[in-house]
């Protein structure tokens, strides 16, 4: 763990209403890293929590938070923080490795890998490769590029065919990223992680018939909330009701 590098990343990520100063955030981050290294995972979790409550968020912070929970055997909390880290650093190799390992430890009861075609899986991988901010910046850059090309075509007198070909290519990329951005927003809306092994029911009642199992660390989509119950969809498309206390939104 390169503490200084990660600490500076956190300081740069702290924007808006930060209750912690730069020095305070860095000091707590370094202390948390040392506690983790010494095997004092509860102390590390406490310090990372203070940083988050102080208004500082970043991919490395959530990643380290997830590592601390994983060391304590809390797969739900670990998966939750890895998922949050992916919103900031989706291409980080260490995060990807740890996230995949966590997923290999989760019992899916036949749910994972079902209900998705190759095209949908490819599209989802594409949307997960970028952060929302990156996709927005790429779209803005494409719009700017199309404007510049139009001006250059007028200035240098390019043929209409050449101009249309270039603009069409840029517009195609723009359309792909627009679809990706909308898809990413849709995929990530109301996503939650199961905090402990639980049963999903046909109706939002404890005395209802059990429908299927949900294991700690499993990712579900929250479709509806009714009182103390949440209607969730598993990755294979199966829908059921679970006590809302048994999950936490990403």
Judge whether 30 and 59 are in contact, CB under 8 Å.
no
- pLDDT for the residue numbered 187: 87
- pLDDT for the residue numbered 124: 87
- pLDDT for the residue numbered 103: 87
All structural domains of the chain with their residue ranges: 3-105, 118-188, 191-249
Distance of CA 250 to the CA centre of its chain: 7
Give the C-alpha separation, 72 to 8, whole Å. Answer: 26
- CATH 2.30.30.40 for domain 191-249, yes or no, is yes
User: Among 1.20.1560.10, 3.90.470.10, 3.40.1160.10, 1.25.40.10, what is the CATH number of 3-105?
Assistant: 1.25.40.10
- pLDDT for the residue numbered 233: 93
Helix, strand, coil percent content, the chain, rounded in steps of 5: 60, 15, 30
- pLDDT for the residue numbered 4: 46
- pLDDT for the residue numbered 16: 54
Give the C-alpha separation, 97 to 225, whole Å. Answer: 33
> Which parts of the chain sit beneath pLDDT 50?
1-5, 8, 15, 111
Judge whether 66 and 85 are in contact, CB under 8 Å.
yes
- pLDDT for the residue numbered 140: 98
User: Within 10 A of 37 (CB to CB), how many other CB atoms are there?
Assistant: 11
Burial class (CB in 10 A: 0-12, 13-18, 19+), 183: middle
Distances (CA, A) of 16 to 24, 54, 57, 59, 194: 16, 11, 11, 17, 30
Could you identify the residue written with the tokens 């075509």? 153
- pLDDT for the residue numbered 9: 56
């Amino acid at each position: 763990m390169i503490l200084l590098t990660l600490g500076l990343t956190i300081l740069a990520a702290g924007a808006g209403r930060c209750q912690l100063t730069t020095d305070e955030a860095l000091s707590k981050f370094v202390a948390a890293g040392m506690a983790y290294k010494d095997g004092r995972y509860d102390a590390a979790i406490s310090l990372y929590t203070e940083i988050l409550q102080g208004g500082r968020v970043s991919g490395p912070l959530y990643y380290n938070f997830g590592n601390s929970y994983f060391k304590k055997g809390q797969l739900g909390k670990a998966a939750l923080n890895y998922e949050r880290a992916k919103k900031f650093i989706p291409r980080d190799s260490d995060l990807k490795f740890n996230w995949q390992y966590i997923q290999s430890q989760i019992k899916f009861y036949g749910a994972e890998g079902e209900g998705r075609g190759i095209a949908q899986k490819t599209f989802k991988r594409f949307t997960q490769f970028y952060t929302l901010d990156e996709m927005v910046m790429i779209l803005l850059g494409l719009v700017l590029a199309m404007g510049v090309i139009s001006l250059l075509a007028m200035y240098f007198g390019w043929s209409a065919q050449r101009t249309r070909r270039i603009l069409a290519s840029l517009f195609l990329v723009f359309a792909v990223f627009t679809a990706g951005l909308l898809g990413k927003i849709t995929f990530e809306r109301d996503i939650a992680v199961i905090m402990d092994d639980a049963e999903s029911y046909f109706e939002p009642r404890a005395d209802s018939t059990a429908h299927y199992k949900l294991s700690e660390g499993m990712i579900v989509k929250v479709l509806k909330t009714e009182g103390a119950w949440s209607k969730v969809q598993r990755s294979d498309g199966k829908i059921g009701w679970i006590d809302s206390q048994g999950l936490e939104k990403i």
